[in-house]
Structure 1
Amino acid sequence: MALPEILDILADWPGWSTAFDIKRRQERSGSTSGRIYVKDIGDPLWVASYQTVSLRPNDLDRWRARLDALEEGGRLFYGRHLARCYPIAYPRGSWTPASFSGLGAVASLGANRKSLTVDDLPAGFRLQEGDLIQIGAHDLHRVVENATANASGVTPLFEIRPHLWPLAAVGQPVSVLRPRCLMAIVPGSISSTADLATGRGTISFDAIEAR
């Protein structure tokens, strides 16, 4: 059986995402007033670092094989922040009603291209600064302004980063459950060492969003 085109290696990753942030590609210049001016020279991309706990020799080799399948960045995987699989207000999906699937929809887009409203949420559903949401198939955003859905399940306008991508549109799904983007391993970043006495070891690697 052939492997899927995009792998989901983090579904049972035995460790953590030790870093998950936005990498802004900018040039900077200073002025005599002391102010720093920045100009975007490329789209912002998510970057992440992942590390396992200490693994037994057999598990270590199994995970080495899984990372080999990603071909040092030649194949893509679903990247996610493992601490933000659910909104902060709802650990392990403890929202009401329990039948909520974790999917809302874009109700409107802000003219500034960095804000939106979301509908199809449970009444009173809360999004907080630091939550992650996924718009459409792979667009990952961080919530930077608190928002609470009204009795009809619609949030007020709230801001996100990075800014909305060009293809963002009203009606697209908005996922608050295990939001993700497409990522590739940064070539040369995989570290896999074992202890001489026990054979146990850890694996770590860096990744960057692939659009």
Structure 2
Amino acid sequence: MPVTFPMPYAEFLGALPVKSVEFDLPEAVEMSRTAGGDLLVAAIGARLWQGEVMLGKLNPWEAQDAQALIDLMRGAGSSFLATHTRYPYPRQDPTGSVLGASTVQIAALDGTDARMISLKGLPVGYALSRGDMLSFTYGATPLRYALHRVQDAQITADSSGVTPAFEVLPHIAPGAQVDAAVTLVRPHCKAIIVPESTQTGRQSRFMRDGMSFRFLQTLR
């Protein structure tokens, strides 16, 4: 049946025998130096997530299946939902059981400070920690996927399930809306495989080892 992009976690990243996924949020700045020795740094664009997916040792059939999936994703227009497989849940809810079926939403955004966000719909006393991730969608045609990392040491939901405002990185893009649904379980961004980054690994008599690819968040 025809593939729909971005491919959901279960159909691509979750279907690969992943050994590790690394995420990075590199700076998007340019720097210049004045005659007096001052360093001038300016932002030149949105900060986008990037990283690398490493697969484990594969038998020949596993390697063939993985290569077919990866090659599909290397085509123009292909994309998938990238999530940090090592940290699928918030730190203080390592199985997601406390969150359960809660419907989490954006409670408030700061119109003057794109770093700040508040959530609602959480269990009473639910805690988020520095390094936890959250995601939501915004915009239309295209639908954009935002992935943010909590920067405050700890945020706790009050008796109404609402958090105080807290800081996230990267900054929240224009277009994000109050009441948008927020994902805390396998939060994700839309990503593409970086061209010419795929490594097919080495084939021994019985196993293939070292298959990997790099990915980059896309907002389109």
TM-score, length basis structure 1: 0.91
Question: Are residue 128 (structure 1) and residue 135 (structure 2) matched?
Answer: no
Separation (CA, whole Å) in 2 of partners of 1:41 and 1:72? 28
Quick one: which amino acid aligns to residue 71 of structure 2? D
Aligned positions, number: 208
Query: By how many angstroms is 1:30 displaced?
Result: 4.1
Asked if 1:112 corresponds to 2:113, the answer is yes
Corresponding position of 1:66? 69
Preserved CA contact (<8 Å) 2:102 2:123: no
Distance across 2 between alignment mates of 1:93 and 1:102: 10
Higher strand share: 1
Q: Which amino acid aligns with 1:81?
A: H
SS in 1 for 2:64: helix
Does residue 151 (structure 1) correspond to residue 150 (structure 2)? The answer is no
Pick from 152, 156, 164 the counterpart of residue 172 of structure 2. 164
CA distance 1:141–1:200, change in 2 (3 Å) = same
Farther off after superposition, 83-92 or 120-129: 83-92
Unaligned runs of 5+ in 1: none
Kindly report which structure 2 residues correspond to 1:1-211, keeping only aligned pairs within 5 A, or say none. Answer: 1-8=1-8, 9-30=12-33, 36-72=39-75, 74-95=77-98, 100-101=100-101, 103-110=103-110, 111-136=112-137, 138-145=145-152, 146-211=154-219
| Aligned partner letter, 1:129 | R
Unaligned runs of 5+ residues in structure 2 are: 139-144
How far residue 34 of structure 1 moved from its aligned partner, in angstroms, is: 6.9
Question: Equivalents in 2 of 1:141, 1:202: separation in Å?
Answer: 29
**Residue 63 of structure 2 contacts residue 208 of structure 2 at CA under 8 Å; is this kept in 1?**
yes
When normalised by structure 2's length, the TM-score is 0.87
State the AA in 2 paired with 1:173. Answer: A
Alpha carbons of 1:168 and 1:54: their partners in 2 closer, same or farther (altered >3 Å)? same
The RMSD of aligned alpha carbons is: 1.9
* Counterpart-to-counterpart distance in 1, 2:76 and 2:187: 21
Once the two structures are overlaid, the 10-residue window that deviates more, 11-20 or 131-140, is 11-20
